[in-house]
Structure 1
């Protein structure tokens, strides 16, 4: 059944408690409900303050929200975003609850995402779907050949619209309330392996001024040094100002981030880093954002070193947080091996989809 329900663009409120914030709060609730339903976990929820801070700052990414109403209630949404400095792609999140699937809402939202991409003159569309950790039904294998995801209605919609599943990511969780013996052992062993060529530096954002440029360089390498399958990823340009803007968004959303990095003693360059983030409620789930060992510094167990050091540091930052949630590409075996050795367990999966426009 296809219904003709109009799309409209959502105007962002100035604050989450503003008088006109009701529609935005409904979108946040829809986003969290869809994530929980698709992945089978509540760990991926965002607070209104976190989501609004990212949406309102348009210096590095511009995001537009399109909604569909039925009898006044928001029954579907798509957020279409594009980086301001990188020219190739748009990314979008399409949200429709199962009870509203099949009415044509999802088709209209996907069509709008493509219209926005074409209007920007961009040639690549990318989106990520969430999937349960286990499924007894049909599965889809990505072009990388690593991992599978459940064959869901959204996956079928994307495939029928010309998208290819390019990569599968594993969502893993680490129990922060369990004994940390494996983490301490990993820290000691990796410290020995790293030797005197590297030293640890650690901070809670905002990043100290003397580390901003080096941190910016390391963050830029996330676009070049992380496995991406056949996804078209622009090389990102970062500087101290972009680091400051990113951290301002996190702080505005009530979030705290701890960073531990391995610094190459000879050059002073950051060779590896790990980020842990939590919202205003320190009893909620912790999220690992970026973890990277720059390719020229691999082979010294720096990934294990920074990850263990930050997990140990995190107990002082958020001692009541129950667990860490993180995503890694299934083909990123070195990082997954670290996670598995420390006790991370698989919870859900994400699929990275891409369509190239004519």
Structure 2
């Protein structure tokens, strides 16, 4: 195979013009990679989704492509926050299976690092994906790469893990990736709702919304979101104004968000929420986003209470959905148990890797 060349992909004015051909080819590369990894394309961006991502006002998204002759063999997506964390860049690498092992991934990553350095970004985060079958094949013996957070690890036998490690990235954390088939069987949700109510003894009331948070709960909702981000080390400047801007951006892109939140009846404040996101251009898959429960209200099945309510709301508004995906920290045993009760099955893990250019220098 001839040596590949890397260049920045031009984002077309629209997806119907002939100039969109390269953009559509790059999208197809990513789709083929996800089919090869997970056995389906449910985690792949559609052309319209990636096009919207390239016009996100809160994040600058750049795509680099690796060509062999005229064919795109791989791509690197570079996401750079514009509001907070402006020293950070997330890089997603996709290389066609038939081109693996020819140095294309390394060349794309090096080009992406050079690009983000030129934009004064100091930290790069990349993700590796590990289906359950691959982890089983790797076995439990052999050298492991420990994560800095959470106590998990990945096998050095994994080609993806070796690639990231050899490129100078440190494994920050490993997350459990799970899938839930929809709709849930029988009266499962009703049974789990009763269990949660027996635990918390009617101390909470659920409030739900689609796409837009009611004004009466907006300040509480922002407080919970911001507190969760602070726990993750992202203080941010999140406020109600930015919430409304984000909601409008989602509306314009066709995306939907379903939220169920728990009001503590004694105080009248929201103390927990859970959200599910739906893509704007497909109706068969959704993604479980954050579930946040204030510390004082943990241990009372509040997380189960609101997740059951949100899945009921999901069925009501989007009956065509067939798969719900989620990611969880392996150490969050309560939430993993809740998800198992809801019907989630482990599909694999993802590794979050980090390189700090300041430390490297």
TM-score (norm 2): 0.87
Inter-CA distance 19–212: structure 2 relative to 1 (3 Å threshold): farther
Among candidates 166, 170, 175, match of residue 164 of structure 1 = 170
CA contact under 8 A between 2:184 and 2:343: conserved in structure 1? Answer: no
Post-superposition offset of 1:13: 2.5
Task: Between the two structures, name the one with larger relative contact order (CA 8 Å, sep ≥ 6).
Answer: 1
What 5-or-longer segments of structure 2 have no aligned partner?
none
Inter-CA distance 269–18: structure 2 relative to 1 (3 Å threshold): farther
CA contact under 8 A between 1:190 and 1:302: conserved in structure 2? Answer: yes
Partners of 2:265 and 2:163 in 1: CA distance: 51
The number of equivalent residue pairs is: 350
Post-superposition offset of 1:167: 1.5
TM-score (norm 1): 0.88
Question: Could you tell me which residue of structure 2 aligns to residue 219 of structure 1?
Answer: 225
What 5-or-longer segments of structure 1 have no aligned partner?
227-232
Post-superposition offset of 1:57: 1.5
CA contact under 8 A between 2:2 and 2:68: conserved in structure 1? Answer: no
CA contact under 8 A between 2:228 and 2:292: conserved in structure 1? Answer: yes
1:41-52 mapped onto 2 (5 Å cutoff): 41-52=40-51
**1:142 pairs with 2:146:** yes
Post-superposition offset of 1:141: 4.4
Post-superposition offset of 1:51: 2.3
Question: Could you tell me which residue of structure 1 aligns to residue 91 of structure 2?
Answer: 92
Partners of 2:123 and 2:154 in 1: CA distance: 23
Inter-CA distance 351–40: structure 2 relative to 1 (3 Å threshold): farther
Partners of 1:120 and 1:159 in 2: CA distance: 24
How big is each residue's C-alpha offset from its partner over 1:260-307, in whole Å with a ceiling of 9 and x where there is no partner? 111234554432111122335665122212222233432222111110
Post-superposition offset of 1:147: 5.6
Among candidates 208, 214, 220, match of residue 208 of structure 1 = 214
Inter-CA distance 161–207: structure 2 relative to 1 (3 Å threshold): same
How big is each residue's C-alpha offset from its partner over 1:65-99, in whole Å with a ceiling of 9 and x where there is no partner? 11122222211111112222224422110111121
Partners of 1:356 and 1:68 in 2: CA distance: 25
* RMSD of Structure 2 on Structure 1 (CA): 2.5
Question: Could you tell me which residue of structure 2 aligns to residue 311 of structure 1?
Answer: 311
Post-superposition offset of 1:196: 4.6
SS in 2 for 1:11: coil
